[in-house]
Amino acid sequence: DAGVTQSPTHLIKTRGQHVTLRCSPISGHKSVSWYQQVLGQGPQFIFQYYEKEERGRGNFPDRFSARQFPNYSSELNVNALLLGDSALYLCASSLRGDRGPEGYTFGSGTRLTVV
Amino acid sequence: GENVEQHPSTLSVQEGDSAVIKCTYSDSASNYFPWYKQELGKRPQLIIDIRSNVGEKKDQRIAVTLNKTAKHFSLHITETQPEDSAVYFCAASMSGGSYIPTFGRGTSLIVHP
């Protein structure tokens, strides 16, 4: 059984550009969460989706947006990239969005570098 | 919101020694405390967790203790091995409903052979 898959694994973008990161949850999982992990810090919560609806939003600017598709995969979009957006972006999936930590699994992340 | 502080940021031990990582949290409503291990270039993986209705939990060489009154919890690793070298994160959250853990800044554990 495949785990949480994220693409691409690495990405280099220029300041001001836009980026789209993708996440496919574990088969059967319907909830996806996104985190930003800056070097030397713990993951910071960005968004949580369950059944295609936003269930939570962290303290990030409106340049960050996300959506979940009918097949439960998800995209994270970041507009007008800043140097400070350079980070590892992690996706986590779980069976449901309302069962606490049950089955919560992280993907390996997308390393975004903004130059 | 919840705030989790984690210490130390770096911990260097000799193989066979014990390692202790400490965390404090601010929200008394938090009742679930997981610990994640993240090896270089890999995803965070849950290694042990504890809920607020118990004070200690053990799994082989790893144990976690919780003091709800003081709002702190700790990870204990005994008989450390080089493969224990990684970054360890503590987190705090509610155990029901939407699971959105608040993470500490991480502890880089280095076990010297």
Q: For residue B65, give every residue at least 6 positions away whose Cβ sits within 8 Å of its Cβ, in sequence order, or none.
A: B50, B55, B56, B73, B74, B76
Q: Look at A80 and B41; give whichever has higher pLDDT.
A: A80
- Asked if A10 and A76 count as a contact pair (C-beta separation under 8 A), the reply is no
Mutate: best of A5, A23, A41, A57, partner B, most B CBs <10 A: A41
Q: What is the pLDDT of residues B48-71, one digit of tens each?
A: 999 988 899 999 999 999 999 999
Mean pLDDT for the stretch of residues B31-54: 92
Q: How confident is the model at residue A103, as a pLDDT? A: 81
Which residues from A are below 8 Å from B36, CB to CB?
106
| Residue A105, phi-psi category: left (phi > 0), alpha (psi -120 to 50), beta (remainder) | beta
Which residues from B are below 8 Å from A44, CB to CB?
103
Digit-by-digit pLDDT tens for chain A (115 residues) are: 579 999 999 999 999 999 999 999 999 999 999 999 999 899 999 999 999 999 999 999 999 999 999 999 999 999 999 999 999 999 999 988 777 777 889 999 999 999 9
What is the band of B99 on the pLDDT scale with cuts at 50, 70, 90? confident
Q: How confident is the model at residue A1, as a pLDDT? A: 54
Q: How confident is the model at residue B63, as a pLDDT? A: 98
Task: Please give the C-alpha separations between residue B101 and each of A14, A64, A92, A97, in angstroms, as whole numbers.
Answer: 31, 20, 11, 13
Which residues from B are below 8 Å from A42, CB to CB?
4, 6, 89, 91, 103-106
**Cα A45–chain centre separation:** 9
**CA nearest A59 in B: which residue?**
B1
